[in-house]
């Protein structure tokens, strides 16, 4: 039997999104060797049972450092500013061990729900110091068996108005942070923050990811300045923005114009449904606005978009199980997405976020890492509607999750 037919893993009866019938996938040295096996193929086999198989989910925006804080502070917060203040009061007491334990709790949930790639934002400032960053660095290393984590350090409470923050950000970048984030709306000089962060990103040759325009007032925004500087610095494809709930308050013509600006500037956008809905529109007594930017409509204009988790069990979002499939389903419900666009919503937690994170080795294609999630449904198109549970997850060809299908005990 030829050696070329020997595999480290064979995933049998996998139903892919673009396949008319189940196929067998051969894995060698952690990578997809072939889709459809050659004669004489052999190796350890796992049967997907004809179930839907997707590439691992990609979460572009999570805050592992401030997750799972329920019970540590009051949670009757009525605004974004209230949530920021509540966490700020706790940050001085964060220890590396504490942040590690809470972050690990979220990573365990995310892995079990099929996430294999993640970008975690980490607050770096004089209150948190570099303790949270050190904890997420350790988690990145310790969980590499199941998930790849990018670390984005950012100034949650401002940069130009918070002495000492810039030096800490620079120290984190020198110590291995993968990219740099921003939060202009908390800065006393938002434009100066944007300018300085672009300069720092260029100095370290890293991408940028901004928290941006997180309210429902369309009369002003920082989006235009971020797009302008993206073009000025030649950073197209290397800048992402998160939230941008202002876009949900625009009439169609202005929304389309903003979409064209994003597409032409090469700026990607992440919608964070759980937090965006929980924190916006709270001043309304009735007919409450959703505050959810229509990512699938932006994609139609050529904008790279994703849907992500953001916060889990804290003042920003006192819910969450780190399931991206649930988040995509939640988004589809709120955005009133019909069945014809269910596939587009799946793209928002798979291929599009992979593009946002510049993952050139993503997807079920020969040569790419063998990262799969096997879902408890026969067709990939049904996964979103049914909220199908992951039955198996694989990272680089090694099985990392096993879940037994539920059984009904009929009389």
Q: What local confidence, expressed as pLDDT, does residue 79 receive?
A: 79
Q: What local confidence, expressed as pLDDT, does residue 147 receive?
A: 98
Q: What local confidence, expressed as pLDDT, does residue 19 receive?
A: 80
Label each residue of the chain as H, E or C: CCHHHECCEEEEEEECCCCCCCEEEEEECCEEEEECCCCCCECCEEECCCCEEEECEEEEEECHHHCCCECCECCCCCCHHHHHHHHHHHHCCCCHHHHHHHHHHHHHHHHHCCEEEEEEEEECECCCECHHHHHHHHHHHHCCCCCEEEEEEECCCCCCCCCCHHHHHHHHHHCCCCEEEECHHHCCCHHHHHHHHHHHHHHHCCCEEEEECCCCCCCCCCHHHHHHHHHHCCCCCCEEEEECHHHHHCCHHHHHHHHHHHHHHCEEEEECHHHHHHHCCCCCCCCCCCCCCCHHHHHHCCCCEEECCECCCECCECCCCCCHHHHHHHHHHHCCCCHHHHHHHHHCCCHHHHHHCCCCCCCCCCCCECCEEEECCCCHHHHHHHCCCEEEEEECCEEEEECCCCCCCCC
Q: What local confidence, expressed as pLDDT, does residue 81 receive?
A: 82
Q: What local confidence, expressed as pLDDT, does residue 77 receive?
A: 58
Q: What local confidence, expressed as pLDDT, does residue 218 receive?
A: 95
Q: What local confidence, expressed as pLDDT, does residue 293 receive?
A: 98
Number of residues that this document lists for the chain:
411
Q: What local confidence, expressed as pLDDT, does residue 200 receive?
A: 98
| 342-370 residues labelled b (16+ CB within 10 A) or e (exposed) | bebbbbbbbbbbbbbbebeebbbeeeebb
Q: What local confidence, expressed as pLDDT, does residue 1 receive?
A: 40
Q: What local confidence, expressed as pLDDT, does residue 20 receive?
A: 84
| Residue 117 dihedral angles phi and psi, to the nearest 5° | -140, 145
**Torsion-angle region of 268 (φ positive above 0: left; ψ -120 to 50: alpha; else: beta):** beta
- pTM greater than 0.85 (yes/no): yes
Per-residue pLDDT of the chain (411 residues; tens, 9 = 90+): 445 689 999 999 999 987 889 999 999 999 999 999 999 999 999 999 999 999 999 999 999 999 999 888 766 656 788 888 888 889 999 999 999 999 999 999 999 999 999 999 999 999 999 999 999 999 999 999 999 999 999 999 999 999 999 999 999 999 999 999 999 999 999 999 999 999 999 999 999 999 999 999 999 999 999 999 999 999 999 999 999 999 999 999 999 999 999 999 999 999 999 999 999 998 899 999 999 999 999 999 999 999 999 999 999 999 999 999 999 999 999 999 999 999 999 999 999 999 999 999 999 999 999 999 999 999 888 999 999 999 999 999 999 999 999 999 999
| Residue 268 dihedral angles phi and psi, to the nearest 5° | -90, 160
């Amino acid at each position: 039997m030829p050696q070329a037919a020997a595999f480290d893993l064979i995933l049998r009866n996998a139903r892919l999104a673009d396949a008319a019938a189940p196929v067998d996938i051969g894995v060698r040295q952690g990578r997809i060797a072939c889709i459809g096996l050659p004669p004489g193929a052999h190796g350890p086999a796992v049967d997907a049972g004809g179930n839907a198989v997707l590439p691992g989910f990609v979460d572009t925006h999570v805050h592992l450092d401030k997750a799972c804080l329920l019970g540590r502070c009051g949670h009757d917060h009525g605004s974004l500013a209230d949530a920021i203040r509540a966490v700020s009061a706790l940050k001085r007491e964060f220890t590396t061990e504490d942040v590690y334990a809470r972050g690990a709790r979220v990573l365990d949930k995310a892995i079990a729900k099929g996430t294999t790639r993640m970008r975690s934002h980490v607050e770096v400032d004089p209150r948190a110091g570099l303790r949270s960053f050190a904890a997420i660095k350790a988690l990145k290393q310790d969980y590499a068996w199941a998930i790849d984590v990018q670390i984005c350090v950012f100034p949650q409470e401002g940069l130009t108005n918070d002495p000492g923050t810039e030096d800490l950000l620079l120290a984190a970048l020198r110590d291995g942070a993968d990219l740099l984030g921003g939060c202009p709306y908390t800065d006393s000089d938002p434009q100066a923050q944007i300018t300085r962060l672009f300069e720092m990103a260029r100095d370290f040759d890293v991408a940028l990811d901004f928290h941006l325009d997180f309210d429902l007032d369309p009369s002003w925004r920082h989006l235009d300045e971020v797009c302008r500087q993206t073009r000025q610095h030649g950073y197209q494809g290397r800048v992402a923005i998160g939230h941008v709930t202002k876009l949900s308050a625009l009439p169609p013509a202005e929304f389309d114009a903003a979409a064209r600006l994003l597409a032409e500037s090469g700026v990607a956008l992440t919608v964070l449904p759980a937090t965006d809905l929980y924190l916006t529109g709270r001043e309304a007594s009735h007919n409450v606005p959703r505050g959810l930017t229509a990512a699938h409509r932006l994609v139609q204009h050529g904008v790279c978009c994703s849907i992500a988790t953001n916060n889990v069990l804290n003042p920003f979002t006192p819910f969450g199980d780190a399931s991206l499939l649930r988040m995509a389903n939640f988004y589809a419900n709120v955005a009133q997405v019909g069945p014809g666009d269910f596939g587009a919503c799946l793209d928002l937690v798979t291929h599009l976020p992979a593009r946002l994170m510049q993952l050139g080795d993503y997807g079920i294609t020969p040569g790419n890492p063998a990262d799969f999630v096997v879902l408890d449904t026969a067709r990939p198109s049904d996964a979103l509607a049914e909220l199908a549970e992951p039955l198996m997850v694989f990272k680089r060809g090694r099985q990392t999750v096993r879940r037994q299908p539920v059984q009904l005990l009929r009389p």
